[in-house]
């Protein structure tokens, strides 16, 4: 029976993952400006300075061929354009994770210093990119010279068909010129895009001090000091220590993080402490209500999982969970340590965030950006809004009635799952 369980558990896990989101583990590939996979007709602009600076020339690393005078190898907006933009049409829903920009190499002295980003699913309704929790449009720092590539990571991925780079400031006495690239991947219209490497905010303070508790703490090494990369510091004459430490060196100690609500936990990280040693082995415990606790189990053996910890005071040790956990409370339980006096650690927790893509409507988008049926009054936000996978989505198997392909895929996986179960049990 042990052999049977080893087969059934992985198959069951794969089946469960198929019903939820799609986690794009490698969604940072160039999307085609540099390689010219994005064709000239997919690149347009609000204006152009001259025939030498057309929109299709605004490709990252584009260079003018010596002796050729038909292009300056970059896009430049007209000087009289008060709201310039460079637009790229991917011609299908696409996930954008990173942006890169350059100035115009020749003639020198022409580049954009700040820009904004807009995106659209239909070419008619455009949304300004904003950071999570910010009401103002995000302003990106761009270039300070002609050729250096400046790359930015989008904290919230954009999921859209079209994007616009909107120059806001340019070099004094220069023109608004750009060469650009985007990094990401093609979206799967039948599944949600998910990012499973998002920190919950222990390190950056989004998790408040009151949300971090412990079994005990030594002197002033409070639980909320156990934040990844925290350092010893003096503030207004008061010492703020750089880690959480226990007051006893024994088992059954723990550092607890209250996430504030139920989240899909995908990984954890720990760090040691120069003044107090480090944890070499630890376990994870989780709970939805502080009453019923579960130890995280090894995926293959169903035994309680013991994670490898630190081997020095500063190296960050990160573990991705084989199976995500839906929980609100997480406990780090040291089981082995190297210490000169106390058990000390610094931690972070990682989660999966699920994002909405473009509305699933039976519309036909024309190459020019016009749309044959209106998206108004749908009550659906175009793209890029983070959502947590709801319990209802999983338990009640809520499906999009327009995603027939998704339904067929899940039903087929269910059939395979049942077939394999029957085969191995037999």
What's the confidence (pLDDT) of residue 11? Answer: 39
| Residue 362 pLDDT level (bands cut at 50, 70, 90) | low
Stretch 350-378: mean pLDDT:
59
Q: Is the pLDDT of residue 133 over 80?
A: no
pLDDT digits (tens, 9 = 90+) for 105-119: 888 899 999 999 999
Fill in the DSSP letter of residue 7: H
On whether the CB atoms of residues 249 and 218 are closer than 8 A, the answer is: no
- CB neighbour class for 250 (10 Å; exposed up to 12, middle 13-18, buried from 19): exposed
What are φ and ψ of residue 417, in 5° steps? -60, -50
pLDDT digits (tens, 9 = 90+) for 370-402: 444 333 333 333 344 444 443 333 333 333 333
What's the confidence (pLDDT) of residue 358? Answer: 87
Stretch 144-151: mean pLDDT:
96
Q: Is the pLDDT of residue 361 over 60?
A: no
Torsion of CA 170, 172, 175, 178, to 10 degrees: -40
> 29-190 and 199-354 share one CATH topology?
yes
| Residue 363 pLDDT level (bands cut at 50, 70, 90) | very low
Of 168, 171, 174, the closest CA to residue 83 belongs to: 168
CA distance 328 to 158: 27
Handedness of CA 321, 327, 332, 333 (dihedral sign): negative
CATH topology of domain 29-190: Jelly Rolls (2.60.120)
Q: Per mean pLDDT, which of 36-40, 65-69, 186-190 is the most reliable?
A: 36-40
Comparing 364 with 46, the larger pLDDT belongs to 46
Domain boundaries, the chain: 29-190, 199-354
What's the confidence (pLDDT) of residue 146? Answer: 93
CATH code for the part of the protein at 199-354: 2.60.120.260
What are φ and ψ of residue 123, in 5° steps? 80, -5
Quote the mean pLDDT of the chain. 82
Stretch 96-107: mean pLDDT:
94
Between vectors from CA 371 to CA 157 and to CA 41, what angle results, nearest 5°? 70
Give the DSSP per-residue string, 8-72.
HHHHHHHHHHHTS-EE-TT--EE-STTTS-S-GGGEEES--SSTTS-GGG-BTT--PPTT--S--
Stretch 42-68: mean pLDDT:
91
What's the confidence (pLDDT) of residue 234? Answer: 87
What's the confidence (pLDDT) of residue 386? Answer: 46
Q: Is the pLDDT of residue 132 over 70?
A: yes
Percentage with pLDDT > 90 across the chain: 61
- CB neighbour class for 168 (10 Å; exposed up to 12, middle 13-18, buried from 19): middle
């Amino acid at each position: 029976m042990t052999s049977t369980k080893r087969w059934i558990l992985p198959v069951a896990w794969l089946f469960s993952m198929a019903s939820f989101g799609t986690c794009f583990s490698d969604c940072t590939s160039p999307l085609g400006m540099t390689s010219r996979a994005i064709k000239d007709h997919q690149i347009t602009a609000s204006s152009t300075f001259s025939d030498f600076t057309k929109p299709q020339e605004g490709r990252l690393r584009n260079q003018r061929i010596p002796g050729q005078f038909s292009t300056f190898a970059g896009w430049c907006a007209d000087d009289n354009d008060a709201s310039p933009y460079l637009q790229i049409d991917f011609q299908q829903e696409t996930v954008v994770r990173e942006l890169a920009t350059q100035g115009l190499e020749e003639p020198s002295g022409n580049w954009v210093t700040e820009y904004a980003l807009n995106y659209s699913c239909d070419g008619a309704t455009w949304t300004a990119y904003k950071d999570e929790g910010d009401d103002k449009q995000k302003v990106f720092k761009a270039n300070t010279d002609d050729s250096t590539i400046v790359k930015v990571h989008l904290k919230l991925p954009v999921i859209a068909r079209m994007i616009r780079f909107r120059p806001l400031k340019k070099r004094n006495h220069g023109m608004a010129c750009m060469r650009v690239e985007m990094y990401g991947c093609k979206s799967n219209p039948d599944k949600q895009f998910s990012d499973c490497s998002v920190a919950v905010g222990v390190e950056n303070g989004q998790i408040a001090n009151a949300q971090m508790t412990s079994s005990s703490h030594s002197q002033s090494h409070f639980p909320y000091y156990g934040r990844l990369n925290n350092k010893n510091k003096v503030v207004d004459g008061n010492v703020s220590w750089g880690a959480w430490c226990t007051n006893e060196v024994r088992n059954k100690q723990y550092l607890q993080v209250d996430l504030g609500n139920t989240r899909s936990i995908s990984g954890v990280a720990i760090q040691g402490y120069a003044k107090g040693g480090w944890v070499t082995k630890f376990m994870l415990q989780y709970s939805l209500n502080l009453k019923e606790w579960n130890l995280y189990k090894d995926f293959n053996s169903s035994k309680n999982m013991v994670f490898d910890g630190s081997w020095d005071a500063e190296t960050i040790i990160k573990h991705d969970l084989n199976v995500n956990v839906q929980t609100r409370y997480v406990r780090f339980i040291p089981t082995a340590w190297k210490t000169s006096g106390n058990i000390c650690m610094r931690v972070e927790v990682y989660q999966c965030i699920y994002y909405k893509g473009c509305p699933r409507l039976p519309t036909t988008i024309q190459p020019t950006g016009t749309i044959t049926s209106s998206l108004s009054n749908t009550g659906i936000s175009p793209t890029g809004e983070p959502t947590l996978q709801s319990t209802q989505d999983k338990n009640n198997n809520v499906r999009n009635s327009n995603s027939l392909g998704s339904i067929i895929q899940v039903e087929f996986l269910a059939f395979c799952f049942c077939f394999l179960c029957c085969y191995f049990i037999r």
